[in-house]
Amino acid sequence: MTYSNLTVDIADRIATITVNRPDKLNALNDATIAELGVAIDAAIANDSVGAVILTGAGRAFVAGADISELASQSPLEAQARARAGQTVFRKFETSPKPTIAAVNGFSLGGGCELAMACHLRIASDKAKFGQPEAKLGIVPGFGGSQRLPRLIGRGAALKLLLTGDMIDATEAHRLGLADDVVPADQLMDRVRALATTMLANGPLALAGCIDAVNRGLDTSLEEGCRIESDLFGLLSATADMREGMQAFLDKRPATFTGR
Ligand code: COA
């Protein structure tokens, strides 16, 4: 697949998807969002990929939805655009393979929303986060009003949403919006090392953890625990469980096959 607005690189079982419109600070136009959907679907379907890193080319991660497209939208076009983006972002969130946002720079509006849809966000010390939609007279459209309070709490989320202020990586980390902050020149190495640590674990276990967290957060504690015990039971039917436990008993590294 050839992309116009992304690059995709696969190495060491890690697919690195880079949003590549640096002259527009990687603003998400409709075409880029559609390509992100194709790229994450392809990574999920590719047996040689075990984890996904999402980043941006140049000085931005993603500086938001492309305002030049939003400016002329009708209400129904806006609703359809929001739903299309939400559908694509949800693919990153429900991916059975870990998705990690390597936040290299501006992560604003749709960029912050895209990072939040990933399982983890590792920020460069040059990254900036924010939901500036209110400054444009709109609300977030790609899940920001929902994921931000779930991630950092109601008050902190409303502060960012209602002020539209940008915060730096240290503050994002303090709030729990960024999971770690690393020096800019080490960002990709650190994120690849994190992905590699995950890839040493059983892929079915990774998928199970993601599924348990995703579904559990959308339901009651009791129901979430039932989801967990069902997955715990299911994983016990796998060769990977037998291998993981036998490897521990044999005092050797496990070799997982995803079966
Ligand atoms: N949509 C469309 N184009 C965007 C964009 C966006 N969200 N963000 C940046 N760009 C474009 C700029 O229009 C500019 O294009 P040009 O060179 O053709 O004029 C280019 O990217 C560089 O941006 P610029 O504003 O010149 O860089 P800066 O360093 O002065 O400011 C930002 C950086 C991120 C503070 C500023 O670009 C900005 O506020 N962007 C919008 C953020 C936003 O509101 N996002 C939410 C959208 S819903």
C-alpha angle 147-194-207 in degrees, rounded to nearest 5: 60
- Classified by CATH at the fold level, domain 203-250 comes out as Lyase 2-enoyl-coa Hydratase; Chain  A, domain 2 (1.10.12)
Question: Is residue 171 among the annotated active site residues?
Answer: no
For the chain, give every domain's residue range: 6-199, 203-250
Kindly list the distances between the CA atom of residue 227 and the CA atoms of 8, 11, 50, 213, 255, in Å, as whole numbers in the listed order.
34, 33, 23, 9, 27
Tell me how far the alpha carbon of residue 27 lies from the centroid of ligand 1, in angstroms: 8
CA of 197 to the centre of ligand 1 (A): 35
Q: Could you tell me the distance, in angstroms and rounded to a whole number, from the CA of residue 127 to the centre of ligand 1?
A: 15
Residue 114 near residue 69 (C-beta atoms within 8 A): no
User: Which ligand 1 atom sits closest to the C-alpha of 138?
Assistant: 48
Q: Which residues have CB under 6 Å of ligand 1?
A: 24-25, 27, 63-68, 106, 108-110, 132-133, 136
Per-residue model confidence (pLDDT) at position 1: 80
* Active-site pick, 35, 113, 223, 228: 113
Q: Which residues, given as ranges, of the chain have pLDDT below 70?
A: none
Q: Which of 20, 24, 131 to mutate to test the pocket of ligand 1 (most atoms within 8 A of CB)?
A: 24
Give the active site residue among 133, 222, 223, 228: 133
Q: How would you class 48 by CB atoms within 10 Å of its CB: exposed for 0-12, middle for 13-18, buried for 19 or more?
A: exposed
Give me the CATH code for the 6-199 domain, please: 3.90.226.10
Does 243 qualify as catalytic in the annotation?
no
Mutate to test the pocket of ligand 1, among 19, 21, 25, 128 (most ligand atoms within 8 A of CB): 25
